[in-house]
Amino acid sequence: MRYTLLFLAMLAMAASTPAADGLPDTSKMNVLLIDIEDCNAGVWGCYGNPICKTPNIDRFATTAVRFDSAYCQAFCCNPTRTSFLTGLRPPSTRVLSNGHVMNEHLPAGVLTLPEMLKNKGLYTAVISKLFHTVDYAERQLATFDRIELYDKPKGWNGPGPILEFAPVKRARAAGNPPPPKGKGKEFNEWRRKQSDRYGDSGIAAEQDGDYRKAQVAVALLREFAKTKKQFFLAVAQARPHTPLIAPKKYIEMYDPAKIPAPPAPLESLKDFPYMKRAKGGNPDIFTRQQPTPQQVREAIAAYYACVSFVDDNVGMVLDALEKEGLDKNTIVIFLGDHGFHLGDHNFWSKYSMLEATRRVVFIVRVPGAPANGKACREFVEFVDIVPTLADLLKFDAKNALEGISFAPLLADAGRPWKKAVFMTDGNGDNVVRTRQFSYLEFPSGKADKPSALYDLQKDPWETVNLADDPAYASARKEMAELLHAGWKAALPK
């Protein structure tokens, strides 16, 4: 009770936002949120990747603002999604790991984005995963007018599926048995093996769940164009989350022999805080041991195949938005919930506070915004999404927001903005990143070093820990002070 009263007392403390001159009236616009999983920000062509083929998102980026310095607040799915759906940082949501049931941890009175938009009067629809799991967010999902390709919360009585799909029969490969009953050790081992693989999915693109999610989105957009209702539509893609499997035609797009070795190899790491992991197994893939050089190339090629598959699916949705004439009145947000290591530092998957995990793909299009077609290098964070949409659509965000509307950057992508971004893990360890430095502290004692400092201008891949270098003592002190001062100390003036 005491915590709740203190939390509610913060309502008036949300950061003020500089005016966003030049934006059109956005209060009656629709919102299309496309969220994908475990995405390394550097894989997209528009973000500078010369190998991975992503023509649809690259084309979309030419009509939107591409945020090159966008960061999430947590290094795994549940806390980062809770954060960007509330506008609160993980210490305030109290959702710090994938095992935390959101509705048992959120402070009383905290609403999520779909609830706020429903209160605003928007028609709300979701296609597959938005919250970590349905049972974590039954109250929030119950507010949706339409739920597609997603388990339904108890008591929800909305319409049936807009499209029907034939079941897919998958041929089971040797060593890939059906799941055992129960949730014990045998099930956990089966789940590990399901995740720890890459290559041909064995089914056609049209049979795949991600493709079908896009088809459902197209059908809903067609319906929205007829009804003229102001809508919020969240569309998920499960990839490029592990297992790194995709329809064969996408796997065949990439030759592993042409994939270069990952940066930040083991021998380049000095006083590395995650050395135990760098020499052992990983979460999700290569879980038992480090891959061979050939496996590295094959897995990266498979990851690119998954990304290209997502790109085609998202392209289908964006094309439908334009075909139905909704692109002129719909705010589109494309994001990955957090990053993903692709062999750098001998790491795969997430669960680190390094750049590959904390940096995210984030592209936003507001029809008529002056900055559309430009890249923004200024820092933005996922906690900024709710305050930005509240600013654009003119609704009461209700929470004690711990982000700030980046609407001014949609008008002027080059205006000075935040000086730092922040991230936490579930152990109480934290990182702050500025233009020049990243500084990590590990009070949990679970890392191999108590802290790490990296000069990103000289060492963008965070290989040489300078925390104990006397030449960087002043920089370490300043970064530690900024980390402890927190997010308010980094806001634009």
- Show Cβ contacts of residue 428 under 8 Å, excluding neighbours closer than 6 positions: 443, 444
Confidence band for 7, pLDDT divided at 50, 70 and 90: very low
pTM above 0.85, yes or no: yes
Q: What value, to the nearest 5°, has the Cα angle with vertex 179 and ends 175 and 183?
A: 130
Residue pointed to by tokens 């205006």:
415
Which residue, 53, 17, 60, 13, is CA-closest to 334?
60
Residue 9: pLDDT above 70? no
Q: Over range 193-205, report the average pLDDT.
A: 95
19 pLDDT band, cuts 50/70/90, is very low
For the chain, which residues make up each domain, given as ranges? 25-166+179-419
What pLDDT, in 10s, does the model give residues 343-365? 999 999 999 999 999 999 999 99
Q: Is the pLDDT of residue 4 over 50?
A: no
pLDDT band at 171 (very low <50, low <70, confident <90, very high): low
CATH number of 25-166+179-419, picked from 3.40.50.2000, 3.40.720.10, 1.20.140.10, 3.50.50.60: 3.40.720.10
pLDDT in tens, 56-65: 999 999 999 9
Omega within 30 of 0 (cis) for the link into 243: yes
pLDDT digits (tens, 9 = 90+) for 445-479: 999 999 999 999 999 999 999 999 999 999 999 99
Average confidence score pLDDT of the chain: 93
Position 390, amino acid: A
User: Position of tokens 């203190």?
Assistant: 6
DSSP state of 464: B
pLDDT at residue 493 in the model = 85
- Residue 336: Cβ within 10 Å count: 28
DSSP states of 56-119: HHHHHHTTSEEETTEE-SBSSHHHHHHHHHHT--HHHHT--STTS-HHHHSPTTPPPHHHHHHH
